[in-house]
């Protein structure tokens, strides 16, 4: 059963597990489990996607419960008035705060994006982060005898594909568990020492205006048991 973290007559939000696709996609054509269908079956009514969350990313995933609500919520995402916050464990000790302003070229999938203009200019992309905690583990990586990591709170101000993951790669503080944009040595360390086989990126809150009441709505997604176990194992305090 999926964890439902918010529901009213017009919308429902779940705490999506890492590894679950939002909806059917040719990118993973053999996948049989999808958040959209599972949520629909669990609550017994049709749901409408209003934003995306990468398959390996966990956390807040919001759906509309009717087409009008979905349209109004999607407009807020399109207009960038929805505040999104993520937690991530990254390699190295980062700055205490930083604004990453680095334009990103479109990422294309060979199967689904064959007709897209691949010469499109890089699009503006901004991510702000705050460092919450740091740790140093007594395990060597590369030429270093210990391994340093930071827990970050991140707010993407734009919505480019894999934006947070690509921005962290750009500043050489790759997210642990990222097999596409990450650092293989650190990913392997977490697999070997902590049995961690997932991306350490979690959407822990969404803040938006309710499309009908006008109230400021904050939807929070707690860390799942596996992430809590990992935080404890590496010596990080759980932020929620």
Look up tokens 């140093």; give the residue.
136
Ranges of each domain in the chain: 3-106+123-234
The CATH architecture of the domain made up of 3-106+123-234 is: 2-Layer Sandwich (3.30)
Structure tokens, 18: 């890492």
**Contact, 175 vs 90, CB < 8 A?**
yes
Q: What is the mean pLDDT of each run of 10 residues along the chain (240 residues)?
A: 97 97 67 86 96 95 98 96 98 98 83 63 95 97 93 96 97 97 96 97 98 97 96 91
Dihedral class, residue 163 (left if φ above 0, else alpha if ψ from -120 to 50, else beta): alpha
Spatial distance between the Cα atoms of 195 and 218, rounded to a whole number of angstroms: 32
pLDDT at 106: 85
pTM: 0.93
- Residues with a known catalytic role: 54
Question: What pairs with residue 13 in β-bridges?
Answer: 6, 62
């Amino acid at each position: 059963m999926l964890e439902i973290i918010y529901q009213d007559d017009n919308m429902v939000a779940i705490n999506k597990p890492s590894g679950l696709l939002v909806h059917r996609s040719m990118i993973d054509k053999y996948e049989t489990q999808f958040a959209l269908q599972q949520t629909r079956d669990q609550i017994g009514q049709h749901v409408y996607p209003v934003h995306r969350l990468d398959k390996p990313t966990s956390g807040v995933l919001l759906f509309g419960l009717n087409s009008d609500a979905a349209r109004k919520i999607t407009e807020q995402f399109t207009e960038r008035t929805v505040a999104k916050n993520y937690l991530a464990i990254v390699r190295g000790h980062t700055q205490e705060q930083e604004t990453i302003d680095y334009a990103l070229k479109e990422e294309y999938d060979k199967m689904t994006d064959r007709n897209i203009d691949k010469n499109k200019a890089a699009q503006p992309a901004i991510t702000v982060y705050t460092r919450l905690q740091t740790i140093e583990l007594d395990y060597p990586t590369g030429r270093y005898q210990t391994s340093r990591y930071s827990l970050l709170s991140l707010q993407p101000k734009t919505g480019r594909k894999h934006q947070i993951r690509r921005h962290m790669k750009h500043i050489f503080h790759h997210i642990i568990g990222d097999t596409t944009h990450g650092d293989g040595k650190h990913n392997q360390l977490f697999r070997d020492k902590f049995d961690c086989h997932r991306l350490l990126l979690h959407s822990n809150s969404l803040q938006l205006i309710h499309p009908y009441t006008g109230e400021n709505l904050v939807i929070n997604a707690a860390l799942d048991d596996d992430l809590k176990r990992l935080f404890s194992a590496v010596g990080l305090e759980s932020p929620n």
